[in-house]
Structure 1
Amino acid sequence: MGLSPADDTAPAAVVRRQYLASAAGDLTALRATLAPDVEWTEMAGFPLAGTYRTPEGVTSEVMEKLAQDWDDWVVHDDTYVADGEDVVVLARYTATHKATRKPLNVRVAHHFTVRGGLIVRFEQFVDTALVRDAITP
């Protein structure tokens, strides 16, 4: 994104660090981007639907469970739209479901709210029917 170190608490930079930590499987670095009282919401209809709180809750109940159920889960974050503390990221999930061996390739939108250099809120938007198709034998 071409941001200087002085911009490392800018909302888009914080969100980008979260994606990079996730891609590297570095849950400690990922937790460092999340506020202690973070609200992380996976969309209704998604296998992990619900709202998770605390950095540890997010990584144990979302990231670690995705890794248990999917091979090569990748979030391809390609477009950022930032407006103050709000950052919307248009992206794509790709993965293969471990049980069905079916591939997933679906567009998503993520809405983050960043305050004080930490993610305080996340909401996922995804075509849950495509996810359901990949997990259904």
Structure 2
Amino acid sequence: MGLTADLIPADVVRRQYLASAAGDLEALRATLAPDVEWTEMAGFPLAGTYRTPDGVTANVMEKLAAEWDDWTAHDDTYVVDGENVVVLARYTAQHRSTGKPLAVRVAHHFVVRGGLIVRFEQFVDTALVRDAAA
């Protein structure tokens, strides 16, 4: 197996967070499987399921960067069960239009296979995000 397939799931997820924090979308896409399913929670401003690494970064990361200053997902605690990685995290940012700050707890569920993220699901208090944007 190649280097990517040898990575343990938590390491793959950690690489995704580091790439996101650095704004390195190429490195972020490299953590995603070609057929990735990335789901932003219903009620979240970018709600929906996105597919392909390019689809994820164009419809999630690039849009967040356009609407929020310093959008950061802080990965605080990892819970790993085989290919399942749950991360208890926080989002911090400031909305560009309203100037309101955001600080909200979130949970992310990743499924990692073959050294790549194949599925992601977000859990967040969407009302807090909407309030900061309104």
Q: Which TM bucket (shorter chain)?
A: over 0.9
C-alpha contact (below 8 Å) 1:8/1:14 kept by paired residues: no
Count of aligned pairs between the two proteins: 132
Percent identity between matched residues is: 82
Shift of the 41–6 alpha-carbon distance from structure 1 to 2, 3 Å rule, reads closer
Structure 1 gaps, min length 5:
none
User: AA paired with 2:98?
Assistant: T
Alignment match, 2:69: 71
Alignment match, 2:29: 31
Q: Normalised by the size of structure 1, how large is the TM-score?
A: 0.94
Alignment match, 1:20: 18
Alignment match, 1:48: 46
Alignment match, 2:99: 101
CA–CA separation in structure 1 for the residues paired with 2:23 and 2:4: 25
Alignment match, 1:89: 87
Shift of the 79–8 alpha-carbon distance from structure 1 to 2, 3 Å rule, reads farther
RMSD between aligned alpha carbons? Answer: 1.4
Shift of the 35–129 alpha-carbon distance from structure 1 to 2, 3 Å rule, reads same
Instruction: For CA contacts below 8 A with separation 6 or more, give which structure has more relative contact order.
Output: 2
Alignment match, 1:135: 133
Q: Once the 2 structures are TM-superposed, how far is the Cα of residue 9 of structure 1 from its aligned partner? A: 1.1
C-alpha contact (below 8 Å) 2:5/2:116 kept by paired residues: no
Deviations 1:69-105 (A, max 9, x none): 0001011101000000000000000000000000000
Structure 2 gaps, min length 5:
none
CA–CA separation in structure 1 for the residues paired with 2:75 and 2:122: 13
